[in-house]
Amino acid sequence: MCGLRRVRAGLPYGALMPAVMLDKNQTRTVYADKKVDSLCPFGGVGCQVTYQVKDEKVIYAEGRDGPANHNRLCVKGRFSFDYIHHPHRLTKPLVRLPNAKKDPTTRSTRPIPFTHFREASWDEALDIAAKGLVKIRDEKGPKALAGFGSAKGSNEEAYLFQKLVRTGFASNNVDHCTRLCHASSVAALMEGLNSGAVSAPFAAAMDAEFIMVIGANPTINHPVAATYIKNAAKRGAKLVVADPRRQTLSRHAHKHLQFKLAATWRC
């Protein structure tokens, strides 16, 4: 990711910088043409990021002073943006060809399977998708359709999505991934605070005297949030991790409660 670039690169001894900021010969610093503020597309922490762009290409990313990350970024948020310019990335809608049957055993060896699809405009693709959904609703009934929302969307997008399902599909079959993976935490918050919503930002861990992590692995799922917990533990907060497996936070914990599972599931 980074390297020590010494005097031959025009930098002082001990300077540490992203290698992408240097040209191919690693002798000149590459400067961005413009900056684009955005949100990190990977995690659910809500980290704010600024992309440094040159010749319409992202060359590196920097964390912004947002309420969730305060300039911090994890390794994915800081370096995993090369997919934006990957030649195999789909940038236009694809519509299945009339003679291309749906066969789950068929595999295309091409990055973009133009043997089965063709490029289309957004208006055409959305029109085809809408007509297909209306046909299922009218022929099979509203119960034949369901919607599953994404945690990547904003509150406004989540509202519009459920509105589409309830009014457009005429169905109440709408769900969200958070209901499942956060069901236990929502139930605990409802019982303790009478509200299932999160009551504090991740940065509030810095003000805590005691932190308990159970049913979560923040260093894997929410790396930036985990940094606040590590900082709090280093400051002197008592950190307790309750998990059947030891995790990265266990190295910073005052105690690791390695409980046994109640039952063994067999397939």
Range list of H helices, the chain: 75-79, 122-140, 155-163, 177-181, 183-193, 218-221, 223-235
Q: Is the pLDDT of residue 252 over 60?
A: yes
User: Which of 112-116, 130-134, 199-203, 262-266 has maximum average pLDDT?
Assistant: 130-134
Q: Are strands 147-149 and 174-176 parallel, antiparallel or unpaired?
A: parallel
Asked whether the predicted pLDDT for residue 177 surpasses 80, the reply is: no
Interatomic CA distance for residues 239 and 200, integer angstroms:
17
The stretch 143-171 carries a mean pLDDT of: 90
- The per-residue pLDDT for range 183-220, each reduced to its tens digit, is 777 888 888 888 877 778 888 999 999 999 988 899 99
Tell me: pLDDT of 105 over 60: yes
Output 230 or 21, whichever has higher pLDDT: 230
Q: Are strands 210-214 and 34-39 parallel, antiparallel or unpaired?
A: unpaired
Q: Is the pLDDT of residue 109 over 70?
A: no
Other Cβ atoms closer than 10 A to 184 = 12
72-81, 111-120, 132-141: least confident range:
111-120
pLDDT given at position 7: 43
> Does this model's pTM top 0.75?
no
Confidence of residue 266 (pLDDT cuts 50, 70, 90): low
pLDDT at 14 over 50: no
Strands 94-96 vs 117-119: parallel, antiparallel or unpaired: antiparallel
CA nearest neighbour of 145 among 175, 119, 185, 189: 175
**Is the per-residue pLDDT at 82 higher than 80?**
yes
Quick one: pLDDT at residue 219? 93
For the four alpha carbons of 243, 245, 246 and 247, in that order, the dihedral sign comes to: negative
8 pLDDT above the threshold of 50: no
* Residues in a beta bridge with 57: 54
CB of 175 closer than 8 Å to CB of 169: no
Residue 87 pLDDT level (bands cut at 50, 70, 90)? confident
* Alpha carbon distances (Å) from 30 to 18, 60, 102: 11, 10, 47
Residue 110: what pLDDT?
66
